[in-house]
Amino acid sequence: IRTILYLYHRIYMDYNATTPLEPEVIQAITKALHEAWGNPSSSYTAGVKAKAAIAQARENVARLVGGKPEDIIFTSGGTEANNLVFHSALEAYRESCRTAEQGGDSHHHRDNSRTSSAWPRPHLIISNVEHDSVRLTAEHLLKDAQADVTLVAVSKVTGRVEVEDVLTAVRPNTCLISIMMANNETGVMMPIRELCQRIRSVSGQRHHRILLHTDAAQAIGKVGVDARDLGVDYLTIVGHKFYAPRIGALYVNGPGSTTPLHPMMFGGGQERNFRPGYGWRPIPNAELVISNLPEYESHMLDTRKYLEERLQAVFGKERIHFNSHFPDSESLPNTCNVSILGPRLQGRKVLSSCRRLLASVGAACHTHRGDRPSHILLSCGIPEEVAANALRLSVGRGTSRADVDVVVEDLRNAVETLESLN
């Protein structure tokens, strides 16, 4: 029975969409639910234990991203963290306008009106391959006439944002540049460190500070992430991408002092009033990544390379197009975006014909787009008929070469079935 079960259990290769909880994390959560259920503000044992669990988690997340515990603000997830960055950047811009209007006397009574019409609207710069929680936030602010927005197109040669293109987009009223650290569909990594260095080199003589944010959701747990080495002001952390609970956090370099941070909600003072309310707090899952990242990274890279070798061996190099291969770009170790060429092999059709493989054709939040090819791939210069056949295969810490063999055989059978249909 076990053999039959094994032969027919599914193989998950959609780790960029979300990850399962590590058993150790489930145990830690269960223990916390039994013992540290109190209100962290309460002085009795259950509350003291809850407060200690949060402090430990904060310390671990800070170590995970190269920050200090006081730099970590827990949120409900990456979407909230990204929205908090945009909200804070606009508030900071309005404050700098008000201060300038009052002759630079920041102690003058605050004029609570919005930025006077004398000042241009704040300007935001994002890439054209951002996650929807960045793209749609910027789109809303544009439609609501709260900000001007520039989408910097990724290079169709490298699949990544080029620093010069971002610099060219900078205006006197630019207040935020938000570029993701790694793309969730292609796995291509963006030149965040170089971008921050170049922007800071031109920021000195500006009236409006340019705040720098990277959404590191897809990078954490796969590659090393060091916010201070990158030089960002904000960095988004998403728990369910590295086997942690569905929570998020925002790294802020000195929240409310070095870097502006303005709450979107008001309440009981939690998170130093930057993000009040008792959401679920992560169990110190970050420790696993801190201790094991080199092994995780090398294992995922080995598995992905093996997957790519087997795909070419089974289908032939001429029938396989790797949509995540850009010669001059770094990419995540675990992501293989691949198209099996052929008029009947659209990605969704192939996946629905598979009996074992669980994967996606692109971002989970784009499933409403139906059979339209991914705009991310089209933005990277992938031809439409190739993008239509895309399969996003993202391996995890535990994906084995045996899993790869099963998946490639499953794909071979699916393609054979689809191509035999008249």
Ligand X SMILES: O=C(O)CC[SeH]
HSE value, Cβ hemisphere, 13 Å, CA-based, for 86: 26
Type of residue numbered 134:
V
Looking at the Cβ atoms of 131 and 299, the one nearer to ligand X is 131
Question: 24-47 burial, b if ≥16 CB within 10 A, otherwise e?
Answer: ebeebbeebeeebebebeeeeeeb
**248 interface partner picked from ligand PLP, ligand X, none, CB below 5 to 8 A per type:** ligand PLP
Instruction: List all residues 6 or more positions away from 206 whose beta carbon is below 8 Å from its beta carbon.
Output: 172
User: What's the DSSP call for residue 55?
Assistant: H
Sign of the C-alpha dihedral computed for residues 7, 9, 15 and 21 taken in this order: negative
Find the part of the chain contacting ligand X (CB under 6 A) among 38-46, 188-196, 198-206, 361-369: 361-369
Q: 342: alpha, beta or left, given left = phi > 0 and alpha = psi -120 to 50?
A: left
**Residue position matching structure tokens 């916390």:** 32
**358 interface partner picked from ligand X, ligand PLP, none, CB below 5 to 8 A per type:** none
Token reading at 132: 């929807």
Token reading at 232: 């960002």
Site string for ligand PLP, 137-176 (x = CB under 6 A): ----------------------------------------
Is 215 a binding residue for ligand PLP by CB under 6 A? The answer is: yes
Is 184 a binding residue for ligand X by CB under 6 A? The answer is: yes
**180 interface partner picked from ligand PLP, ligand X, none, CB below 5 to 8 A per type:** ligand PLP
Is 248 a binding residue for ligand PLP by CB under 6 A? The answer is: yes
Is 363 a binding residue for ligand X by CB under 6 A? The answer is: yes
With CB under 6 A as the contact rule, the residue among 40, 67, 77, 347 that binds ligand PLP is 77
Looking at the Cβ atoms of 82 and 346, the one nearer to ligand X is 82
Residues contacting ligand X: total by CB under 6 A: 7
Type of residue numbered 109:
H
Looking at the Cβ atoms of 36 and 332, the one nearer to ligand X is 332
CA distances from 50 to 6, 25, 106, 263 (A): 40, 16, 39, 23
**Residue position matching structure tokens 């090398």:** 298
With CB under 6 A as the contact rule, the residue among 28, 89, 97, 180 that binds ligand PLP is 180
User: d(Cα 292, Cα 277) in Å, to the nearest integer?
Assistant: 32
Looking at the Cβ atoms of 218 and 253, the one nearer to ligand PLP is 218
**324 interface partner picked from ligand PLP, ligand X, none, CB below 5 to 8 A per type:** none
With CB under 6 A as the contact rule, the residue among 157, 358, 364, 402 that binds ligand X is 364
Q: How near is the Cβ of 366 to ligand X at its closest, in Å?
A: 7
Choose among 78, 13, 20: nearest CA to 337: 13
**84 interface partner picked from ligand PLP, ligand X, none, CB below 5 to 8 A per type:** none
Active site residue 365: yes
Residue 269 sits at φ, ψ, to 5 deg, of: 90, -5
Which helix (H) or strand (E) segment holds residue 74: the answer is strand 72-75
Which helix (H) or strand (E) segment holds residue 176: the answer is strand 174-178
Instruction: List all residues 6 or more positions away from 4 whose beta carbon is below 8 Å from its beta carbon.
Output: none
Q: How near is the Cβ of 218 to ligand PLP at its closest, in Å?
A: 5
Choose among 12, 55, 63: nearest CA to 288: 63
Is 377 a binding residue for ligand X by CB under 6 A? The answer is: no
Cα distance between the two ends of the chain: 37
User: What's the DSSP call for residue 96?
Assistant: H
Looking at the Cβ atoms of 142 and 365, the one nearer to ligand X is 365
Is 134 a binding residue for ligand X by CB under 6 A? The answer is: no
Is 17 a binding residue for ligand X by CB under 6 A? The answer is: yes
Is 235 a binding residue for ligand PLP by CB under 6 A? The answer is: no
With CB under 6 A as the contact rule, the residue among 11, 13, 16, 244 that binds ligand X is 16
Is 136 a binding residue for ligand X by CB under 6 A? The answer is: no
User: d(Cα 77, Cα 64) in Å, to the nearest integer?
Assistant: 16
Find the part of the chain contacting ligand X (CB under 6 A) among 27-35, 42-50, 119-127, 357-365: 357-365
Is 57 a binding residue for ligand X by CB under 6 A? The answer is: no
Looking at the Cβ atoms of 131 and 310, the one nearer to ligand X is 131
Is 52 a binding residue for ligand X by CB under 6 A? The answer is: no
User: d(Cα 63, Cα 122) in Å, to the nearest integer?
Assistant: 33
- Which parts of this chain interact with ligand PLP (CB under 6 A)? 77-79, 131, 133, 180, 184, 215, 217-218, 238, 240, 248
Active site residues: 365
Residues in contact with ligand X by CB under 6 A are: 16-17, 131, 184, 363-365
